[in-house]
Chains A and B, each alone.
Chain A
Amino acid sequence: MVKLSSSAELSQFLTSVERRAYKHAIYAVRDDHAALDIVQDAMIKLAEKYGDKPAEELPMLFQRILQNTIRDYYRRQKVRSAWVSLFSGLQSRHDDEEFDPLDVLEDSENQSTPAAPEASLQQRQIIALIEDALGNLPARQREAFLLRYWEGLDTNETAAAMGCTEGSVKTHCSRAVHALSVSLKAKGVELP
């Protein structure tokens, strides 16, 4: 008999996945507030529509919802950009500025927290460079890489979450790993 997830199980699952989900959204949209909105929307959709599904089905369902919510965000942004450019033609160039994770790194270092040890600082810088490289990957490659390797979904589950074939998942993953290798090597990053 299939066991349905209880409120406690759903809570436990959301707690375990919320930080990674936020990071997924950040890499995709590069906007803190939008990322939080996306994660909240995905959590609510999961709870409302699939809250009574068996606990083992929750990870795949949540990832699918999360990726769809990110795509919905892209679509809304595209429509908004079209309307803004149609009516104003004076859109601020700030939106087009390149995101530099080192800026974020400097900001966080300027806080009142005590200076981090050199190793920790180096680790933070490597993470920032990796996140930058991930953010520069094509959306589908990044999605496949994160779902397959970070979320630990198998090829079949990743394909279901992405709405594509298993062959596509393997191709996306392979290209993502290669692109990350090239990008990190170009920046002189040696992974510990």
Chain B
Amino acid sequence: MITNLDPEKITRLLTLSTGQLDQSTLLALSSARQNALQRQPVRAPVFALSMAHGIHRLIPSPIRLWVVAGLLIATTVIGMGYWNHVQEQQIDETDLAILTDDMPIDVFVN
């Protein structure tokens, strides 16, 4: 009957054998490792909410991107609406002035 050997004795020798790899193999392994590390995805936050660090970490990056895009669009739309409203108000004031024949002098100067 063959007696079972101790696996640890074998693995110890196998570990020793890894120290006998030639230089070109070690360089190739190092290069492979560097290649792999360059492919590791970077999970940087898009923006940081100063009052809610816990929340912004819980929201995945794509959702944060949509939130940022939505905020930008909403700001733009509101800004354009306000600008239009101001313009209309100025035109209304001019029309009223024309109708009441109460135009300021600078209108005629320019």
User: Which of A's residues lie within 8 Å of B, judged by CB?
Assistant: 4, 7, 10-11, 14-15, 18-20, 22-23, 32, 36, 39-40, 43-44, 46-48, 51-52, 108, 123-124, 126-127, 130-131, 134, 145, 148-150, 177-178, 180-182, 184-185, 191-192
CA distance A27 to B30 in the complex (A): 20
| Interfacial chain B residues near A48, Cβ < 8 Å | 39-41
User: Which of B's residues lie within 8 Å of A, judged by CB?
Assistant: 2-11, 13-18, 20-22, 25-26, 28-30, 32-33, 35-37, 39-41, 43
Q: Do residues A39 and B29 form an inter-chain contact, with CB atoms below 8 A?
A: yes
| Interfacial chain B residues near A47, Cβ < 8 Å | 36-37, 39-40
Q: Do residues A43 and B33 form an inter-chain contact, with CB atoms below 8 A?
A: yes
Q: 16 pairs across A/B with beta carbons < 8 Å?
A: A10-B40, A14-B33, A23-B14, A36-B29, A40-B32, A47-B39, A47-B40, A52-B40, A108-B20, A108-B22, A127-B16, A131-B14, A150-B14, A180-B5, A181-B4, A185-B2
Q: Do residues A127 and B13 form an inter-chain contact, with CB atoms below 8 A?
A: yes
Q: A123-B16, A145-B7, A149-B8 are in contact. Are A181 and B29 (CB under 8 A)?
A: no
CA distance A127 to B13 in the complex (A): 6
Q: A124-B20, A149-B8 are in contact. Are A43 and B41 (CB under 8 A)?
A: no
Interchain nearest-CB distance for B48 vs A (Å): 17
